[in-house]
Amino acid sequence: MDGAQVVSPETCYELSAFVHKRFGMFFPPERHNDLLRAVSRACDESGFSDPQAYVDWVLAALHSDKELEPLVTSLTIGETYFFRDPGLFAALREVVVPQRVRQAREAKTLRVWSAGCSTGEEPYSIAMLLDHYGLINSDWSVDLLATDVNVKSLRHARKGIYSRWSFRGLSEPMQQRYFDAVDDHHWQLKEVIRQRVDFSYLNLAAPPFRISDDARCRCDIILCRNVLMYFSRELREQILAELTRMLDDGGWLVVSPSEAGLVAVDGLHSVHINGMVLHRKGIGEVTRPVSRPVLPKRVTPREKSPPKVSVPPVKAAKAAVKPARTAAPPDEPLVSVELCADLVEQGAYAQAMTQLENLLAQCQPDRREQARINLLLAKCHANIGHTDLAQENLEQALRLDQMNPVAHYLSGVIALEEHDVDQARHSLERALYLDEDYIMAQLTMGMLQGQCGDVVQQKKSFARIHLLLDRLADDEVIPDSGGMTVSHLRLSLKN
């Protein structure tokens, strides 16, 4: 059912105003198609056959949050995974947590709030990080609070059961340590970690906030990532002011790298840590990594980043096991590369990899087609966390076709994940040299320029993106963006 075809423009404006007032989510005209797609999903789940009738029902009376749950759930669909944004978690591990632990050494209390926790991967990542410091099972009083407006996501989070998609930022030893297999495709977080996170409902569009029985409680760390971009400027300023109020003196506000430029609040100061921008209450000087507190030695949540180098990444280590190429059974027909590409876009990575390996083994594709197969394999491995194998396939793809901008772009993204800024910049420059209209390469380059403090070049990159977006329809999906529409990206850049 396509809500865009049956909901009148006037009603759409009215619904947009309602959603903004009730839940704080901002859907200007250029994002009305996103809004109506959510209406279509909620309409089906709520038992309505007509989107217009459903919207009329929503607007006709003051419904409870429970009654509007299908709409909110459809509006706040978000993908996340454990230890998303490795650079930020490195900053938390190396600087933020040690400093707060030092300051609270006598009181032995620590409070962390994940605002907009989605399905729980973020607060559980924090719990695992704190377990590394020996703070979970100790004489410390540790409060881990997690809130979201999506009730369905909260139910998912409390169960703590996740598929492989959520583990692409988590090493295999960490997964084995903290999770138990439920079946061949799902794992459950161990209860000792699961029970330490307190999940509850909270609408960030309705400050002031209360996340504890003690209204005076203050937080050491507040994470509000990939949330602020969805609010209007006015509401975002109110939310940031309230979050700042709820921080303890010297406490930290953590937003996503793409949202760091949206934070401009009296009392919060930008702090640059290894290329990341965080914000600290009442502290203006640049904070540098400090030594770890004297606590029991634990396994780190993720391996230390390799030293920065200015040469392309080397091939995968010998220890990495490369999946064997196996021929498809005689009664199983091979699919085309196009169908494999569709499987990759749908997130069916295991199925796509099997078919791609079969194509390489049986079809003897030409040089360019083989390069494309290696590139798709690289995407699969990158999305399930096999960085070494992803890089190996990328190198093979580039040996076969050095003029493929997508391969250079993906190589740059992987380099950023590994904190190799020089290689990331080199790969992104190659991608843009080959295709100056490559929006995601231009966006990633702009974000990298911002992290490196090159504001002038970042503005030029973003201006170029605006010109490219003006050529496209608002509801068009940007290639290699993971499903982001033109209107969504335009709004993010505007904010």
Q: Structural domain boundaries of the chain?
A: 9-75, 86-281, 337-402, 405-494
Q: Report whether the peptide linkage leading into residue 208 is cis, meaning its omega lies within 30 degrees of zero.
A: yes
Put the strands of the sheet holding 161-163 in their side by side order. 161-163, 186-189, 179-181
pLDDT at residue 29 tops 50: yes
pLDDT, tens digit, 9 for 90 and up, residues 191-227: 999 999 999 988 887 777 777 666 567 899 999 988 8
Q: Which CATH fold would you assign to the domain 9-75?
A: Chemotaxis Receptor Methyltransferase Cher; domain 1 (1.10.155)
∠ CA 125-126-127, nearest 5°, is 90
Rounded mean pLDDT of the chain? 79
Q: Are strands 247-254 and 141-148 parallel, antiparallel or unpaired?
A: unpaired
337-402 and 405-494 have identical folds: yes
CATH, domain 337-402, list 1.10.3470, 3.40.50, 3.40.525, 1.25.40 = 1.25.40
Q: Whole-prediction pTM value?
A: 0.53
pLDDT at residue 298 tops 70: no
pLDDT at residue 165 tops 80: no
What average pLDDT does this structure show over 445-456?
Answer: 86
Q: What number does CATH give the domain 86-281?
A: 3.40.50.150
DSSP labels for 34-89?
HHHHHHHHHHHHTT-S-HHHHHHHHHHS---TTTTHHHHHHHT-----TT-SHHHH
How far, rounded to the nearest angstrom, does the alpha carbon of residue 336 sit from its chain's CA centroid?
31
Angle of helix 51-60 relative to helix 32-45, nearest 10 degrees, comes to 90
pLDDT, tens digit, 9 for 90 and up, residues 98-110: 999 888 888 889 9
For residue 96, give the nearest of 266, 248, 207 by alpha carbon. Answer: 248
Q: Are strands 268-273 and 276-281 parallel, antiparallel or unpaired?
A: antiparallel
Inter-residue contact 35 to 16 (CB < 8 Å): yes
The 8-class DSSP code of residue 252 comes to E
Inter-residue contact 112 to 125 (CB < 8 Å): no
The pair of three-digit structure tokens given for residue 125, joined into one six-digit string: 């990542």
pLDDT score recorded for residue 330 = 39
Angle of helix 486-494 relative to helix 455-469, nearest 10 degrees, comes to 150
Q: What number does CATH give the domain 405-494?
A: 1.25.40.10
pLDDT, tens digit, 9 for 90 and up, residues 32-71: 877 888 888 888 778 888 888 888 898 887 787 778 878 8
Long-range Cβ contact pairs of 334-343 (< 8 A, separation 24 or more): 334/358, 334/359, 334/362, 334/363, 337/365, 337/369, 337/372, 337/373, 337/376, 340/373, 340/376, 341/376
For residue 249, give the nearest of 282, 211, 216 by alpha carbon. Answer: 282
Contacts of 62 (CB under 8 A, 6+ apart): none
Inter-residue contact 197 to 123 (CB < 8 Å): yes
CA atoms within 13 A on the CB side of 184: 1
What average pLDDT does this structure show over 333-355?
Answer: 73
Higher pLDDT, 268 or 315: 268
pLDDT, tens digit, 9 for 90 and up, residues 314-336: 333 323 333 344 334 434 445 67
Instruction: Please give the Cα distance from 270 to 278 (Å, whole number).
Output: 6
Inter-residue contact 4 to 469 (CB < 8 Å): no
pLDDT at residue 134 tops 80: yes
pLDDT score recorded for residue 17 = 87
pLDDT score recorded for residue 177 = 93
Instruction: For tokens 């032995």, name the residue.
Output: 108
